Structure 1
Amino acid sequence: MGNNVELVVYGAEVLCPSCVNLPSSKEQYEWLQAAIGRKFGEEGVTFKYIDIYNPPAEEPYKDFAERVIEEDMFYPVVLIDEEIVGEGNPRLKTVYKALESRGLEPQG
């Protein structure tokens, strides 16, 4: 396949105020990882989880984590190759479409 897509989930252990009845950011990250693995296989996507209150010092992760807090984004915020594809309650259909637009193909 050759192309590797980076999927980054920004979230926190504490649920965002508007996300009270939703799973935690970490649970949604694990759910996305499993669902994407089933549909596209284990190759081609690199997953990363960033705690917005304790981000790594490296860029662009630190800057975007600060942006999530400053702009009061609903988390988890899902980025694929630095494009926001989900916020608060990410939709699988939207995430799948973004992956397919980057050349990933569903496994038979």
Structure 2
Amino acid sequence: MNRKVEVTIYGAEVLCPSCVNLPSSKETYEWLEAAISRKYPEQPFTISYVDIHQPPENQAKQQFAQRVIEEDMFYPVVLIEEEIVGEGNPKLKTIYAEMEKYGYTPA
């Protein structure tokens, strides 16, 4: 593995209109953190949740949060190293494939 990958989940407290029967953004964040940790044990990564309506002071995160709102993206939006890998109902297979591009090896 080359380096610690950053996974960022952008979402909101309220479900997006097209995501009514799906888990909340926060639930998706928790689920992904657990799933990635199980798939790649003892392989460090960072994962963070960004509320699109109250983003942190980080300018890049603020800009992407604004983009999610302006482009009416389905949230949660999952990024790995600034690459969108899932929207609305992210697929583990796609996320795992992206992680493995960075040298992560499944358990």
Q: TM-score, normalised by structure 2?
A: 0.96
1:6 CA drift (Å)? 0.1
What one-letter code is carried by the residue in structure 2 that aligns with 1:22? L
Aligned to 1:102: 102
Tell me the equivalent position of 2:67: 67
Which structure 1 segments of 5+ residues have no match? none
- Which contiguous aligned blocks of 4+ residues in structure 1 show a shift greater than 3 angstroms? none
Number of equivalences: 107
Shift of 1:59: 2.2
Q: Once superposed, what is the RMSD of the aligned Cα atoms?
A: 1.0
| Distance in 2 between residues matched to 1:42 and 1:24, nearest whole Å | 27
* Residue 29, structure 1, aligned to residue 29, structure 2: yes
Correspondence for 2:52: 52
Residues 43-88 of structure 1, C-alpha deviation per residue, up to 9 Å, x if partnerless? Answer: 3210010000000121210000000000000000000000000000
Equivalent position SS for 1:84: strand
Structure 2: 5+ residue runs without aligned partners?
Answer: none
Which letter maps to 1:48? S
Identity level (%): 64
* TM score, norm. by length of structure 1: 0.95
Q: Match of 1:46, as an amino acid?
A: T
- 3-state SS of 1:21 partner: coil
